[in-house]
Structure 1
Amino acid sequence: MQEIFYPNSVAVIGVSARADNLGRNIVANLVEFGFQGVVYAVGPAGGAVETHRIYHTVEEIPEAVDMAVILTPARTVPEILKQCGQKGIRWAVIETAGFREYGEEGRRLEEQIEQVAQRYGIRFVGPNCIGVMNMENGFCVPFLRLKKLVKPGEVSIITQSGGVGLSVLNLMANEGIGLNKFVSVGNMLNIHAEDILEFLVDDPNTKEIFVYLESLRDGRRLMDIARRSSKPILVFKSNIGRLGRTIAASHTASLASDDKVVNAAFRQADIVRVQDATSLMNNLKCLRLPPMRGKKLAVISRSGGHAVVAADACELSGFDLADFPEAFLREIESHFRASVIRLTNPLDLGDLFNLEMYGQILERTLQLEDVDGVVLLHTAFSENERKASRALLERIIEMVKRYDKPVAYYLSTTAQEINELRQSYAFPIFTTVVETIRALEMSYVHYRRKRELRQAEPIPTFEVNRVAVKALLDQARRAGRDPLLSEAMQVLEYYGIPVVGGEQASSVEEAVAAAERIGYPAAIKVISRQISHKSDVGGVQLNLRNADSIREAFEDMLGRIRQAYPDVELDGVLVQPMVTGGRELILGGKQDVNFGPVVMVGLGGIFVEVFEEVTLRVAPITSKEAHEMISQLRGAPILFGARGHKRSDIEAVVEALLRLSQLLVDFPEIQEIDINPLRVFHERDGCCALDARIHLRQS
């Protein structure tokens, strides 16, 4: 990818001298940004633009060319790319639109472009993009006329939308955040966002990376790159609505929506997900500070009201307010005009008007070992304080470097002063109290996750019966069906997940005989390849205490199902012993189109879809990740023994999750699996799967 950003020469194809020509804007941008290489303009009309001769064709250019930037009608692009290949050009940016986003004809043009690129070994960005920028060498080729609004810096951007990317550049310019590199990837026909990301992770001049995505091509590769990165990666993933999606065939598919999987994957890979422009800018600013290494925060405020707001925000973000030594507080109080404010954390310094003293208090605070970071809330409306406020900011900047602790500086003053400070000082300035603390929360979470990734534990592997599971799944696929209930339970058993015993029965007398062997009370469940949710059709009968109740339930259940669904094929029933006690969970998994195998745990029973209380992880998972999945459930305190309840066997659930994770990795043909419910008993008493459903991927 080096050649994308550092070409020595570039041919801009699609240029004319007309005032409304977009190609000439590309040439003008290269001149404006001071591109250090050679620029060749190409267009059939010839002429000149920006003191550059316009060559009629690429072949006319007398020297070798590293890069082509193409902005011509879509139908002409395959032939132009061919000419570039014949010229020896191996890198291109295709900004032209009108391809698959416009229908079948555009898709055929894309296929032609791919064939040409493969023939000549050309790598290209696009099509349907606005181009590339590199602030280091002035390589700036968007087709919109740009000015140097954003200054050079350390943030690089990958965006699937040119418009969103340019909006982010405007926001960065307003905040005084500098740009290093920018890529609009468009349709990602050849070079994908993951390719650019991998380059930027190793790029010495990029310190922070922002990615805007509307779709994912290779989610697992994205995770792998992010896990290896020492740099923060922020992603805005849009296109998350459910409208128009096919109704899922199982609980797991409906709950593990694409966006929930994205959230889980980003969490595992320490990708910071942002949902709006405000969060993006605040996070980019905060990442320029030293990391928030712990949860002990100090708040210093010039206003009591701001201090209260900050204290609430700290609690919501999970921060602890550090305890200040009594001697430290008394020393501060000695500088007050009157002892009208009781000092604590947050420090309300409303009775202190000496801004130089604010700097001294901040330094003493940073020296405290029990303080991991500081929020300084400053209000300055008096013109007389302008010079003193700037001196305070300069002192803050120096102390942040010296003590290597974050100081999140909130300032309430005029918009003009804020803008001047942002352009004059390479230091983040926040203007909303709550967002300031949320940005510090992001810093703490990012630092903690990155540290955990460096200390990653191994993925456990269990001894299981893969051969038996493969034979069972192959048998079901040959029959053109999913595994039956009894077969799904066998799969779990082969992978060491505890299951309740049971016998399949095709007739009422077989059901009675099975119940006699198993013992009463018993349960019967309908078996049918066409029925996924047995409870919805009355296909489960519980607490049957004798042979007569088995007979009655069998005839009644199957009769009602046949009457309601006359075309359904019934394969009998599964007879199981009644299992009482414990709590019900659901375990599940699916093969996600972007991330591969995904595992899930949540509240179980028939209420899982009502509460939608589930957590997800991309498999394979570690023991720690399995514990986190359980702990993040809102009902987890009950499982852990809150309010006098006995603690459930968490370790048994963890092992079941790990074994399920291994099953999904070993057998990608399992498209979806539900274990609902999984009954978990008291600590050291284990867990037991009472029901299961497996849906196989279509061949």
Structure 2
Amino acid sequence: MEAQVSEACAVAASASPAKWSPPSDASRTIKGVHAMLHPRNIVLVGATDKPGNYAERIWNNLIKYKYAGGLYPINARRDTVWGVPCYKDFASLPEQPDHVLVLVPARFAAQVIRDAAAAGARSATIVTSGFSELQDEESLRLAAELQAAIHETGLAVTGPNCLGNLSAGENLFTNIDDRIVTMEAGAVAIAGQSGAIVMAIRQALEDRGVGVGYMVTTGNEAGLETTDLMTYFAADPSIRVIVLYLEGVRDTKAFRDACKAARAAGKPIIALKLGASEGGRAAAMAHTGALAGSIETFDAISTREGVIRVRGLDELIETTECFVHATLPKGNRLAAVTLSGGKRGLLIDAFYSAGLNFAPLSRHASEQLAKMLGPGSIVGNPLDAGFAAVVDPSVYMKSIQIMIDDPDTDIVIIDAELPKAPHELRERNLRIVNEMAGKAAKPVIYISAMSIGFTEFTKSLRKSLPHIAVLQGMDRAVGAIKSLIDYAALPKEVPDIVSSSKPSARAVLERALRSANGAALDEIASKKLLKAYGIPISKEAIAQTAAEAVRIAKQIGFPVVAKVVSAEILHKSDIGGVMLNLTTPADVKKAFETITARVKKLKGKPKLDGILIAQQVKADLELVVGASFDAEMGPVVLFGTGGVDIELMKDVALAGAPLDAAEARKLIGRTKAGVKIGGYRGKPPLHEASAVKALVGLSNLIADAGNRIASIDVNPFLINAKTGVAVDALIVLNNTAARHAAGH
């Protein structure tokens, strides 16, 4: 067995191509990940030949795939294991350890990390489980001890509770998976917290003929996190597409920085993201929190950084295939060739539903097709070349070439699937189209309407066609192509936007947080804070008596609105705490008395702070402007159609905070409310500038407050042709964070 190991290493070393190495000024993270994926040797601590155990399965994979470096098992109680010498400890190894696989029980893992670092190791993978995933007191203690050891030693560590890694260029497979793996240094890198899902993604891509250069399972992420892997993959020139399985984002800034690095390198990040965070659910005390769930917040922030979030594994595979083999388009002008009228209809419907359409062909291309197809033929896009191709098979290939050559098309789609068995004509056509695509400055994409299983022949044929993407399933294919178009339209680098708030506004914020009692600021305190941040509010004042309410109404001018003021009543309309269209002193007196009586009858006897008398603004449109602090992604702002039907309509869009005026206008433009503001069906445009000002101010406020404010709800924000004002506001606090920051 020892001779077998030596022979395998020698063969792999002779065939190994030159490897990329990080520059000397690369970050410690990049150097650490590189050491883990390109180690000089691998040491298995906890080696045992008990049949079927993880250590043996990993050892067998390292032998099977001919890892070129040294392989050293360690077990203090064994002299030999798996037919080779077994070492007592790191000191007895024939060379300094480099990458260490930790397979010992959880209680010994931290000491192994310390001993490995002391012996000169640079990285480790902790396969062992039994840490924070169990959530009992002892497991959490072991997790803290392990994290401390990793921090003290500075080792680059994945795990614990992970299933190992793949580095195809090194023939390194420190994984328990016993399915066949093709060791080719492909353009895809995969990282994720679930070993089973990451392994399934790798297998599915391999079944589709897509090579995976790296696969890293991060487990509990006591050391290296997914963001660290993203940073490394962004720097490695062999990788073109980064695939992630994310259960959560622990460090928002690190995640965004890694996304920016990948975006600057032109590498799309395709992510399958799970779940809604506790932070998002807690923020549901306000409308904004209920509408801005964790997934929506993730999209709002990460999409701007070039992340493509997919909804499931099938969509992930199609999108990855698309980005690996399709060049980025210059625009969204689609062209398609099919041999079926029915398929033509399916293509039109599917792309139209995704907001994409087939472009008119250039005059030259149309004339070429008409001449080729003959008198009476219909030249359209998509082109149904079926009937003409029956008469003259060359028509099909000539049609594809015309579409590719047409300067008025950006993407060429071909309705066809790969054959499952040798087929001379179809193979020849595919190779010709692949050659056309290699010379074209636009993506050429094959689509099959349904998923077709790949045979070994299909996989082999697919690998010989590097310049064309081959997508399966109409809906998934359309989603992948839309992602390709959207990604291509992003700027290569996204500048950071910082808060533009004034020191005076930040001082008002700090005073409001220090003086806050309860879960929320009342409407008066909320509006005072909004006004400090430049958000226009209506004329108003609080009254303690009916007579005072009448006096305030006369000063403001009729008509007015009366509203309950209580930090304990979050949604005033729900309890009859808002009365509109008060046009006389008698109306105001009655409204004051009615609202006061309603509050006294409420269960729990909420404290009544007064009745707010406010200017009634004539509105052409009710908007909602909101913000929240997401536990994973940080501050986010929301804009859309407001009023009492806000949850029913759900016409809202979100963006990361803070915003500048340009980003605020983009956010408005993503909603139906934005269409109305621009002037809808002949109506005059509304005062967009006031909505932009409100969004910028609100985004600065939530960014300055950080996690001390859970959510801000400005609903409604009333807008007409001349102005826009906030007439209601609710600021929900994260009391623990607010009190800690205030020194309480």
TM-score, normalised by the number of residues in structure 2? 0.87
CA contact (8 A) 2:534 2:693 kept: no
Distance in 1 (CA, whole Å) between partners of 2:142 and 2:275 is: 26
Find the counterpart in structure 2 of residue 154 from structure 1.
187
CA contact (8 A) 2:277 2:632 kept: no
Distance in 2 (CA, whole Å) between partners of 1:566 and 1:311 is: 58
Superposition pairs of residues 128-527 of structure 1, within 5 angstroms: 128-149=161-182, 151-229=184-262, 230-240=266-276, 245=281, 248-287=284-323, 288-325=325-362, 328-329=365-366, 331-332=368-369, 341-350=377-386, 351-353=388-390, 355-378=393-416, 386-410=423-447, 416=455, 418-426=458-466, 427-449=468-490, 451=491, 453-454=492-493, 461=500, 463=502, 465-466=504-505, 468-470=507-509, 472-477=511-516, 479=517, 482-527=520-565
Query: Displacement, 1:178?
Result: 0.1
Find the counterpart in structure 1 of residue 623 from structure 2.
585
Find the counterpart in structure 1 of residue 96 from structure 2.
64
Find the counterpart in structure 2 of residue 86 from structure 1.
118
Give a deviation string over 1:495-551, Cα, whole Å, max 9, x none.
111110111222222222222222222222111121111112222222222333222
Distance in 2 (CA, whole Å) between partners of 1:341 and 1:306 is: 18
Query: Displacement, 1:481?
Result: 6.3
Secondary structure of the equivalent of 2:201? helix
CA shift in 2, pair 1:430/1:339, >3 Å: farther
Query: Displacement, 1:220?
Result: 3.5
CA shift in 2, pair 1:504/1:380, >3 Å: closer
Query: Displacement, 1:409?
Result: 1.7
CA contact (8 A) 1:335 1:352 kept: no
Query: Displacement, 1:162?
Result: 0.6
Give a deviation string over 1:643-684, Cα, whole Å, max 9, x none.
2322212232122111111122222233211111100111xx
CA shift in 2, pair 1:22/1:604, >3 Å: same
Secondary structure of the equivalent of 2:300? helix
Distance in 2 (CA, whole Å) between partners of 1:407 and 1:615 is: 33
CA contact (8 A) 1:306 1:433 kept: no
Distance in 2 (CA, whole Å) between partners of 1:228 and 1:496 is: 34
Query: Displacement, 1:147?
Result: 2.9
More displaced 10-residue stretch of structure 1: 550-559 or 151-160: 550-559
Distance in 2 (CA, whole Å) between partners of 1:124 and 1:96 is: 13
Distance in 2 (CA, whole Å) between partners of 1:663 and 1:64 is: 54
The one-letter amino acid of 2:470's match is I
CA contact (8 A) 1:484 1:527 kept: yes
CA contact (8 A) 2:561 2:616 kept: yes
Secondary structure of the equivalent of 1:643? coil
CA shift in 2, pair 1:50/1:207, >3 Å: farther
CA contact (8 A) 2:543 2:610 kept: yes
The one-letter amino acid of 2:51's match is A
Query: Displacement, 1:141?
Result: 0.5
Distance in 2 (CA, whole Å) between partners of 1:98 and 1:382 is: 46
Distance in 2 (CA, whole Å) between partners of 1:569 and 1:460 is: 35
5+ residue gaps, structure 1, are none
CA contact (8 A) 2:168 2:183 kept: no
CA shift in 2, pair 1:18/1:433, >3 Å: same
More displaced 10-residue stretch of structure 1: 273-282 or 360-369: 360-369
More displaced 10-residue stretch of structure 1: 563-572 or 411-420: 411-420
CA contact (8 A) 1:521 1:543 kept: yes
Confirm whether residue 696 of structure 1 aligns to residue 733 of structure 2: yes
Alignment counterpart, residue 681 of structure 1, candidates 709, 720, 723: 720
Find the counterpart in structure 2 of residue 603 from structure 1.
641
Distance in 2 (CA, whole Å) between partners of 1:575 and 1:243 is: 34
Distance in 2 (CA, whole Å) between partners of 1:694 and 1:411 is: 51
The alignment's C-alpha RMSD in Å is 2.6
CA shift in 2, pair 1:513/1:335, >3 Å: closer
CA contact (8 A) 1:464 1:495 kept: no
Superposition pairs of residues 494-573 of structure 1, within 5 angstroms: 494-565=532-603, 567-573=605-611
The one-letter amino acid of 2:458's match is I
Secondary structure of the equivalent of 1:554? helix
The alignment of Structure 1 onto Structure 2 pairs a total of residues equal to: 692
Distance in 2 (CA, whole Å) between partners of 1:467 and 1:405 is: 50
Distance in 1 (CA, whole Å) between partners of 2:186 and 2:519 is: 58
CA shift in 2, pair 1:50/1:362, >3 Å: farther
Between the two proteins, what is the percent identity of the paired residues? 26
More displaced 10-residue stretch of structure 1: 190-199 or 223-232: 223-232
Query: Displacement, 1:406?
Result: 0.8
Query: Displacement, 1:112?
Result: 1.2
Query: Displacement, 1:394?
Result: 1.2
Secondary structure of the equivalent of 2:542? strand
More displaced 10-residue stretch of structure 1: 671-680 or 456-465: 456-465
CA contact (8 A) 1:585 1:603 kept: yes
Query: Displacement, 1:283?
Result: 1.2
CA contact (8 A) 1:468 1:494 kept: no
TM-score, normalised by the number of residues in structure 1? 0.93
Distance in 2 (CA, whole Å) between partners of 1:348 and 1:578 is: 60
CA shift in 2, pair 1:487/1:569, >3 Å: same
Query: Displacement, 1:456?
Result: 5.2
Distance in 1 (CA, whole Å) between partners of 2:288 and 2:472 is: 42
Secondary structure of the equivalent of 2:389? coil
Confirm whether residue 106 of structure 1 aligns to residue 139 of structure 2: yes
